[in-house]
Chains A and B, each alone.
Chain A
Amino acid sequence: MSKNTGVYTQRFFLFLFLTAGCLLWSSCFDLVEEIDMNHKGAGTIKATLNLSKSRTKVASLLKMKQFNGIDIPSETTIRQEMEKTVRMLKSTQGISQVQYNLDFHNYIASLSCHFENVQALNEFSKTLSDQFKIQITSYNSYRYDPSSQTFKRTYSYTDGLAKEFNKISTEDQNLFNDAYYTNIMRFDKKVQSQSHQLAKISANKQAVLLKVKAIDLIKGKTNLTNTITLVK
């Protein structure tokens, strides 16, 4: 699995969170990151941001040009930025089948692509992070060792997002109790073991699911580091 796949998705959504700004304050959301990977290190990634629970709030925010100093993009801008991201993805070697969907009725955004190898995603990730200039994200990397068939996610927390988060009122912070980040990893082989305390292995033994509160991630109370070993 690519080291940078996670970085890419995280950065993409941080773009939505922070560059787009308004979504952070919608407070009630689900971010689902889904990675299907074969034992050679290729696969697909799909990221979905679901704000349908906060439709009224998001709709109001999108009508504003600025909210507490943060520029609120219009629907057109969000579409343009998404198309730009997709164009970049398509021009990245090793990336294919790029698809996206923006549903401005339910406020659900999704982006998916196929990745052939880690190098392609590394390159893509670098370009993307350069474009969005997001330094606020916690560092996240994946490593896959085909010989030992060990998949490792390393996560180190930085407080950039927490600093932004602390700027909003306690009342609004409490609203984040209903916001979740979900990571699903699926493999073409069975999982022998995984190390995260909160993650669980599926009944067919080929997937690992980790669902955590967004507020715990923001405040650094939860760590996403995990080592998954596949059956040889």
Chain B
Amino acid sequence: MKLKKNYIVTLVALFSAVSGYGQQDLVQRVPEEASFVVVVNNQAIVKHSSFEKINQVLHKAGLFKEINKETLQLESISDLDLSYDRSAYIYKTDTDSSYYIGILLPLKADHQVGHNLFHKLKPLPVSQGYERRVTTDGKTQVAWNNHSLLILTGDVHRYYFDNDSVAQRYGLETQDYSYASPSTYDYDYLSSDSTDDAYALADSVDTTWESYNFDDDTSYDGANTVDSVVIPPPVRIDTGYTDYLAYDSYSDSTYQKEMARNAKNDSLRNAAFVSWLAQDFDRHLHPSRNASSHRFLNKFDRKNTLVHVWVRDLVGFYREAMPYYMSSMQLGYGMENLIYAYQDIVFDLVQDKHTLKITGSMALNDEMDKLVRPIYKNKMNRKFSKYIPENHIGYFSINFSMESYLKSFPILMEQWGGYSLYAYQDIAGIVATAFDVILDEQAIAKVIGGDHLVFISELKKVEKEYIDYEYDNDTFDYKEIKKTKDDYIPTFLWMFTSKDQRIYQKVLSLGESKEKVIKADGIYKIIDTPKSEIIYVLFKDDIVFVSNDEDQLSAIQTNRFQASKDRNIKRQIFSHNMTAVTHLAEIPKTLNRLGIPTIKRWDNTVKSLSQYGDVTITAGAAKKGRITGEIAIDFPKKETNALQYLLEELLHVID
């Protein structure tokens, strides 16, 4: 009986494995060495929006019109050959010589992508059940089976060929102004034989590939991307009285030679890439090791994450923009020295009811983690919660350990400053040591803590000065006089912990003696400020309060302050190392009262802000070797969720 049961279980498992093979998550097809992967979570997108609305947007944007021009009759995205029950992937792989971008799309049953999308491409031999095609220029290949489609494209890294030996190996002409004789220049240099010889030389990153029959691939439509370089003759312009060559100043032999050299080099680079792509395509179609092993590539909330982005490391991300040697040449130090401590990064676009969020996290290496973890570890002053204004436009809080930061500072300076100062690494070391010796971190942290909270409160009516003129009736001479008018200004309240407030009080006392500060009822009034705005300072318990609203400080001092009871604000402030919140609904009223003009095309947008919630930016503590951050926008609750609202807005914008 037990044997029979096991037999059935085995059969079911086998059946599941076989039937599921074709429908597997396409992450299995993303090469392990991918440096950058975007996961488009079709299921979540479809769940949170609707085909109808997406179709409306695409219709209005004219997408179907464009596609239909290409003889494909489309009325809806459901007519496309794509399957929306699995995620699509976009990835990038890099070598020192080139990069590939792969697009993996799930296909629906009985699709016709070969006919619908790729009928103009040149067929290649079928490979392991995959139909394959290649574009005219050979720089993009596609392959599909019953379940999925791979589009692989890319290009060379041009800087790879800047190296003389590489350029020589691939037959590229390096810039040499010494050859002056046009007669020595041969426009027929690109015979197919010579190019074959050139790009048949191995790429430094892969020296084992077999020679690829490039001629076969490039001769199918009569076009040959490699064998000829055509330089168009200068255009003749008929002016009515004489003929001359357009671009006359560029038609000299040096310019012509430069153009020919560039064209030849481009052609050779392209030829090299075409051959590399042809060689590497199978490895992308059937990667021996796939990216599913990357923990944070697969770790995301599948129900609500619309798009998930994973970057292997910051170093790789940086390499996309510039090769290391170039930064060393230009900046005097290699950027990899500065960013090596930051590892994989993830970003998620998350739909959470009426809120859209972009969340991100980045891994730190052990060294950096040990360095920054104590900085993030700090208890924000709980008394702050008693001074949260009831009405405010937004707030900003930051919370870090000043003492740990000051202790880590010399090490950070030695690491970063040393590299950035390049020739002064020793000096950076000395300065760092000096800081370490001189600073009493604990004492400084008592003077100014690492917990700061700033509120931008509601606008306050104030009398503002302006210049007017008073005319003398006798002569009509005039003199400037100061008048006041009612105006609104935003008020702020900044508080931070200070257990040793002596230095502030001494500085303010000095200001008093110079008649730049007035002390009244325990509140310091700083009257000499650059913008003539009066600033008030109050010390209460272990908190320093700074504000431009005397009433607020007076209320705090006399325990009359009406604090907000909003638990969400307290949660935000006390649970994150950094929070920045703006209540969008307050913006239209604020702009109006301040008299800040808005341009006409923003009118509707500004008016609609009154229906929005908050924009919240938070950064979290370094936990488990990762630092985290989030940007969230609360959209109006007019539609069923934030994504639906966005689509609806898009429809209006297109209109």
Residues on A facing B (Cβ under 8 Å): 25, 30, 32, 50, 52-57, 60-61, 64, 66-68, 105-106, 108, 172, 182, 184, 186, 202-204, 206-209
With A186-B475, A202-B476, A207-B475 already in contact, the answer to whether A30 and B469 are too (CB < 8 A) is yes
Q: Which of B466, B474, B475 contacts A106, CB < 8 Å?
A: B466
In the complex, which residue of chain B has the Cβ closest to the Cβ of A61? Answer: B597
CB of B476 within 8 A of CB of A207, answer yes
Which of A56, A66, A184, A204 has most chain B Cβ within 10 Å?
Answer: A56
Q: Which 5 A-B pairs have the closest CB atoms?
A: A52-B466, A207-B476, A60-B596, A203-B474, A52-B467
Residues on B facing A (Cβ under 8 Å): 464, 466-469, 471, 473-476, 478, 485, 487, 531-532, 594-597, 599-600
CB of A203 within 8 A of CB of B595, answer no
A108 to B466, CA, bound (A): 10
Q: How many A-B residue pairs have CB under 8 A?
A: 60
Q: 29 A-B contacts, Cβ less than 8 Å apart? A: A25-B597, A50-B469, A52-B467, A53-B466, A54-B595, A55-B464, A55-B466, A56-B487, A56-B594, A56-B595, A56-B596, A57-B597, A60-B594, A60-B595, A61-B597, A64-B599, A66-B599, A68-B600, A172-B597, A184-B476, A186-B476, A202-B474, A202-B476, A203-B474, A203-B475, A204-B474, A208-B476, A209-B471, A209-B476
A75 to chain B, nearest CB (A): 15
A202 to B531, CA, bound (A): 38
In the complex, which residue of chain A has the Cβ closest to the Cβ of B476? Answer: A207
A51 to B487, CA, bound (A): 15
In the complex, which residue of chain A has the Cβ closest to the Cβ of B489? Answer: A56
Contacts of B464 in A (CB 8 A): 55
A132 to chain B, nearest CB (A): 24
A64 to B591, CA, bound (A): 14
CB of A106 within 8 A of CB of B467, answer yes
A43 to chain B, nearest CB (A): 15
Contacts of B600 in A (CB 8 A): 68
A107 to chain B, nearest CB (A): 9
B616 to chain A, nearest CB (A): 25
B457 to chain A, nearest CB (A): 17
Contacts of B596 in A (CB 8 A): 56-57, 60
Contacts of A202 in B (CB 8 A): 473-476
Given contacts A52-B467, A60-B594, A202-B475, 5 further A-B contacts (CB under 8 A): A25-B597, A50-B467, A64-B599, A68-B600, A105-B531
With A54-B595, A57-B596 already in contact, the answer to whether A206 and B475 are too (CB < 8 A) is yes
CB of B469 within 8 A of CB of A32, answer yes
CB of B473 within 8 A of CB of A203, answer yes
In the complex, which residue of chain B has the Cβ closest to the Cβ of A25? Answer: B597
A172 to B485, CA, bound (A): 19
In the complex, which residue of chain A has the Cβ closest to the Cβ of B601? Answer: A68
A180 to chain B, nearest CB (A): 10
B434 to chain A, nearest CB (A): 40
A204 to B464, CA, bound (A): 35
A204 to B472, CA, bound (A): 10
CB of B597 within 8 A of CB of A67, answer yes
With A57-B597, A60-B596, A68-B599 already in contact, the answer to whether A108 and B467 are too (CB < 8 A) is yes
Contacts of B466 in A (CB 8 A): 52-53, 55, 106
Contacts of B475 in A (CB 8 A): 186, 202-204, 206-207
A206 to B595, CA, bound (A): 41
In the complex, which residue of chain B has the Cβ closest to the Cβ of A207? Answer: B476
A122 to B302, CA, bound (A): 77
B636 to chain A, nearest CB (A): 25
Contacts of A66 in B (CB 8 A): 599
A161 to B326, CA, bound (A): 55
A55 to B475, CA, bound (A): 30
Contacts of A209 in B (CB 8 A): 471, 476
B261 to chain A, nearest CB (A): 41
CB of A60 within 8 A of CB of B597, answer yes
A62 to chain B, nearest CB (A): 11
A105 to B532, CA, bound (A): 10
Contacts of A32 in B (CB 8 A): 469, 478
A194 to B641, CA, bound (A): 72
A177 to chain B, nearest CB (A): 14
A188 to chain B, nearest CB (A): 12
Contacts of A186 in B (CB 8 A): 475-476
A21 to chain B, nearest CB (A): 12
In the complex, which residue of chain A has the Cβ closest to the Cβ of B488? Answer: A56
In the complex, which residue of chain A has the Cβ closest to the Cβ of B530? Answer: A105
A53 to B467, CA, bound (A): 7
In the complex, which residue of chain A has the Cβ closest to the Cβ of B487? Answer: A56
Contacts of A67 in B (CB 8 A): 597, 599
In the complex, which residue of chain A has the Cβ closest to the Cβ of B465? Answer: A52
A172 to B600, CA, bound (A): 12
A60 to B598, CA, bound (A): 10
Contacts of A203 in B (CB 8 A): 473-475
Contacts of A172 in B (CB 8 A): 597
A25 to B596, CA, bound (A): 11
Contacts of B474 in A (CB 8 A): 202-204
A27 to chain B, nearest CB (A): 9
B104 to chain A, nearest CB (A): 42
A96 to B467, CA, bound (A): 28
In the complex, which residue of chain A has the Cβ closest to the Cβ of B591? Answer: A60
A57 to B598, CA, bound (A): 10
In the complex, which residue of chain B has the Cβ closest to the Cβ of A108? Answer: B467
Contacts of A206 in B (CB 8 A): 475
Contacts of A25 in B (CB 8 A): 597
A108 to B467, CA, bound (A): 9
Contacts of B468 in A (CB 8 A): 30, 50, 53
B289 to chain A, nearest CB (A): 51
A56 to B466, CA, bound (A): 11
A52 to B467, CA, bound (A): 6
A55 to B474, CA, bound (A): 31
Contacts of B467 in A (CB 8 A): 50, 52, 106, 108
A172 to B467, CA, bound (A): 22
B49 to chain A, nearest CB (A): 34
A186 to B594, CA, bound (A): 39
In the complex, which residue of chain B has the Cβ closest to the Cβ of A206? Answer: B475
In the complex, which residue of chain B has the Cβ closest to the Cβ of A202? Answer: B476
In the complex, which residue of chain A has the Cβ closest to the Cβ of B603? Answer: A169
In the complex, which residue of chain A has the Cβ closest to the Cβ of B485? Answer: A53
A25 to B600, CA, bound (A): 13
A67 to B485, CA, bound (A): 26
